[in-house]
Amino acid sequence: MENKGSSSRASGASPTELFISKANMARIIRRVVPPYGKIADDSKKIVQNCVSEFIGLITAEANLLCQSESRKTITADDILRAMTKLGFDKYVNALSLYISCYREAEPLGMVVSSDVYNS
Protein backbone atom coordinates (compact mmCIF):
# COMPACT_ATOMS: atom_id res chain seq x y z
CA MET A 1 0.00 0.00 0.00
CA GLU A 2 1.47 3.33 -0.97
CA ASN A 3 -0.38 5.10 1.80
CA LYS A 4 1.52 3.09 4.40
CA GLY A 5 4.87 4.08 2.91
CA SER A 6 4.02 7.75 3.04
CA SER A 7 2.79 7.46 6.62
CA SER A 8 5.98 5.65 7.64
CA ARG A 9 8.04 8.48 6.17
CA ALA A 10 5.89 11.04 7.94
CA SER A 11 6.43 9.31 11.28
CA GLY A 12 10.17 9.03 10.67
CA ALA A 13 10.13 5.22 10.70
CA SER A 14 11.55 3.22 7.83
CA PRO A 15 9.28 0.51 6.38
CA THR A 16 11.44 -2.25 7.89
CA GLU A 17 11.00 -0.76 11.36
CA LEU A 18 7.27 -1.34 11.00
CA PHE A 19 7.70 -5.10 10.63
CA ILE A 20 7.28 -7.62 13.39
CA SER A 21 10.64 -9.27 14.01
CA LYS A 22 11.47 -12.36 11.99
CA ALA A 23 12.25 -14.25 15.21
CA ASN A 24 8.76 -13.57 16.56
CA MET A 25 7.21 -14.64 13.26
CA ALA A 26 9.22 -17.87 13.28
CA ARG A 27 8.09 -18.60 16.85
CA ILE A 28 4.44 -18.09 15.92
CA ILE A 29 4.72 -20.18 12.76
CA ARG A 30 6.45 -23.03 14.61
CA ARG A 31 3.41 -23.39 16.88
CA VAL A 32 1.39 -24.73 13.94
CA VAL A 33 4.09 -26.49 11.93
CA PRO A 34 4.96 -30.07 12.96
CA PRO A 35 8.26 -30.39 14.88
CA TYR A 36 9.95 -32.05 11.90
CA GLY A 37 8.71 -29.35 9.50
CA LYS A 38 11.01 -26.72 8.07
CA ILE A 39 10.13 -23.12 7.32
CA ALA A 40 11.87 -21.42 4.39
CA ASP A 41 13.26 -17.93 4.96
CA ASP A 42 11.11 -16.63 2.11
CA SER A 43 8.01 -17.97 3.87
CA LYS A 44 8.95 -16.21 7.10
CA LYS A 45 9.46 -12.96 5.21
CA ILE A 46 6.11 -13.23 3.40
CA VAL A 47 4.25 -13.93 6.64
CA GLN A 48 6.15 -11.10 8.33
CA ASN A 49 5.05 -8.69 5.58
CA CYS A 50 1.43 -9.86 5.65
CA VAL A 51 1.12 -9.69 9.43
CA SER A 52 2.74 -6.26 9.54
CA GLU A 53 0.40 -4.97 6.82
CA PHE A 54 -2.61 -6.45 8.63
CA ILE A 55 -1.65 -4.81 11.92
CA GLY A 56 -1.02 -1.52 10.14
CA LEU A 57 -4.39 -1.66 8.39
CA ILE A 58 -6.34 -2.44 11.56
CA THR A 59 -4.44 0.16 13.57
CA ALA A 60 -4.96 2.86 10.95
CA GLU A 61 -8.70 2.19 10.90
CA ALA A 62 -8.88 2.16 14.71
CA ASN A 63 -6.96 5.45 14.73
CA LEU A 64 -9.50 6.99 12.33
CA LEU A 65 -12.32 5.85 14.61
CA CYS A 66 -10.59 7.47 17.59
CA GLN A 67 -9.94 10.69 15.70
CA SER A 68 -13.60 10.89 14.70
CA GLU A 69 -14.44 10.75 18.42
CA SER A 70 -11.66 13.23 19.35
CA ARG A 71 -9.73 10.61 21.32
CA LYS A 72 -6.00 9.94 21.19
CA THR A 73 -5.82 6.49 22.79
CA ILE A 74 -6.68 3.37 20.80
CA THR A 75 -8.33 0.72 22.98
CA ALA A 76 -8.96 -2.97 22.42
CA ASP A 77 -12.59 -2.13 21.69
CA ASP A 78 -11.45 0.27 18.96
CA ILE A 79 -9.45 -2.55 17.38
CA LEU A 80 -12.52 -4.80 17.45
CA ARG A 81 -14.68 -2.07 15.89
CA ALA A 82 -12.05 -1.50 13.19
CA MET A 83 -11.91 -5.22 12.43
CA THR A 84 -15.71 -5.32 12.09
CA LYS A 85 -15.70 -2.27 9.83
CA LEU A 86 -13.00 -3.80 7.61
CA GLY A 87 -14.86 -7.10 7.24
CA PHE A 88 -12.96 -9.21 9.77
CA ASP A 89 -16.05 -9.60 11.95
CA LYS A 90 -15.66 -13.38 11.77
CA TYR A 91 -12.82 -13.06 14.30
CA VAL A 92 -14.35 -10.46 16.61
CA ASN A 93 -16.32 -12.91 18.79
CA ALA A 94 -13.25 -15.00 19.62
CA LEU A 95 -11.16 -11.91 20.32
CA SER A 96 -13.95 -10.42 22.46
CA LEU A 97 -14.02 -13.60 24.52
CA TYR A 98 -10.24 -13.49 24.93
CA ILE A 99 -10.30 -9.82 25.97
CA SER A 100 -13.08 -10.52 28.45
CA CYS A 101 -11.13 -13.40 30.04
CA TYR A 102 -7.97 -11.30 30.05
CA ARG A 103 -9.73 -8.40 31.80
CA GLU A 104 -11.10 -10.76 34.46
CA ALA A 105 -7.73 -12.43 35.04
CA GLU A 106 -5.54 -9.33 34.93
CA PRO A 107 -6.42 -7.92 38.37
CA LEU A 108 -5.81 -11.35 39.87
CA GLY A 109 -2.34 -11.56 38.35
CA MET A 110 -3.33 -14.60 36.32
CA VAL A 111 -2.12 -15.36 32.81
CA VAL A 112 -4.75 -16.21 30.21
CA SER A 113 -3.68 -19.19 28.12
CA SER A 114 -4.51 -19.29 24.44
CA ASP A 115 -5.17 -23.04 24.84
CA VAL A 116 -8.62 -22.20 26.23
CA TYR A 117 -9.70 -21.10 22.75
CA ASN A 118 -8.37 -24.06 20.78
CA SER A 119 -11.31 -26.35 21.46
pLDDT digits (tens, 9 = 90+) for 67-80: 999 999 999 999 99
Packing angle of the helix pair 76-85, 92-105 (nearest 10 deg): 180
Average pLDDT over residues 71-97: 94
pLDDT at 48: 87
User: How far apart are the C-alpha atoms of 12 and 43, rounded to whole Å?
Assistant: 28
Task: Indicate the pTM of the whole model.
Answer: 0.70
pLDDT at 8: 43
User: Which own/partner contact pairs does 3-12 have at CB distance under 8 Å and 24+ positions apart?
Assistant: 4/53, 4/56, 4/60, 7/60
Residue 16 has pLDDT above 70, yes or no: no
CATH 1.10.20.10 applies to domain 2-87: yes
How many of the other CB atoms lie within 10 Å of CB of 78?
20
Start-end of CATH 1.10.20.10 domains in the chain:
2-87
pLDDT, averaged across the chain? 81
